[in-house]
Copies of this chain bind each other. A is one copy, B any other.
Amino acid sequence: MGEILNISRKEQIVDRAAKLFKQKGFAATSMRDLAAELGIEAASIYYHFKSKEELLEKVCFDMADKFITNAREVNDIYFNAEEKLRMAIKFHIETITENQNQSSVFLSEWRNLSEPKLKLFRQLRQQYENQFTIILADGEKEDIFDDVDKKFAVLSILSTINFINEWYKVSLIRLCMISV
């Protein structure tokens, strides 16, 4: 089997891993659990990944990359701060709803990472939050936003959006999709 199927299989494993990590938590998910989900033996996973933690890293850092790329794109393309904030939130919501399992892992299971990856992850998350801080600061300069505690404001915004993760079910897609 060639490179294409290899990639696809790896992605399938990561996908199922994210599903289980969300469902039971990273620590409570065993490699045998994951293997059973895939219909193979635990040892077989090690042909594709070198450790359980590597699976967690893949999910966490892939999502971090998605979020950061989106936010940077917003800050590059749009000019108006209100428009920027609107788009940043829209992208964030889309990323969450389109990757529910991986998002849950990104939001809750990252603390199971061990150093030095844990530190790196924290930095990336900070970078993402910084993109929002920049937008708020821009808006203040443009006199569209009030002068607020930006660190607090960003955390408020994100935690409010991330709440989606607790009630959003795929079956409701576009039933109550927020129009932006």
Write the residues of chain A forming the contact surface with B, with a CB cutoff of 8 angstroms.
Answer: 24-28, 108, 111-112, 152, 155-156, 159-160, 163, 166-167
A155 to chain B, nearest CB (A): 5
Chain B residues, Cβ within 8 Å of A156:
163
Complex Cα distance, B24 from A163, in Å, reads 22
22 contacts between A and B (CB under 8 A): A24-B111, A25-B25, A25-B26, A25-B27, A25-B111, A25-B112, A26-B28, A27-B27, A27-B28, A28-B112, A108-B108, A152-B167, A155-B163, A155-B166, A155-B167, A156-B163, A159-B159, A159-B160, A159-B163, A159-B166, A160-B160, A160-B163
Complex Cα distance, B156 from A156, in Å, reads 13
Complex Cα distance, B26 from A25, in Å, reads 10
A156 to chain B, nearest CB (A): 7
Q: Which residue of B lies closest to A160 (CB)?
A: B160
Chain B residues, Cβ within 8 Å of A163:
155-156, 159-160
Chain B residues, Cβ within 8 Å of A111:
24-25
Q: Which residue of B lies closest to A28 (CB)?
A: B27
A140 to chain B, nearest CB (A): 20
Complex Cα distance, B109 from A111, in Å, reads 14
Complex Cα distance, B152 from A167, in Å, reads 8
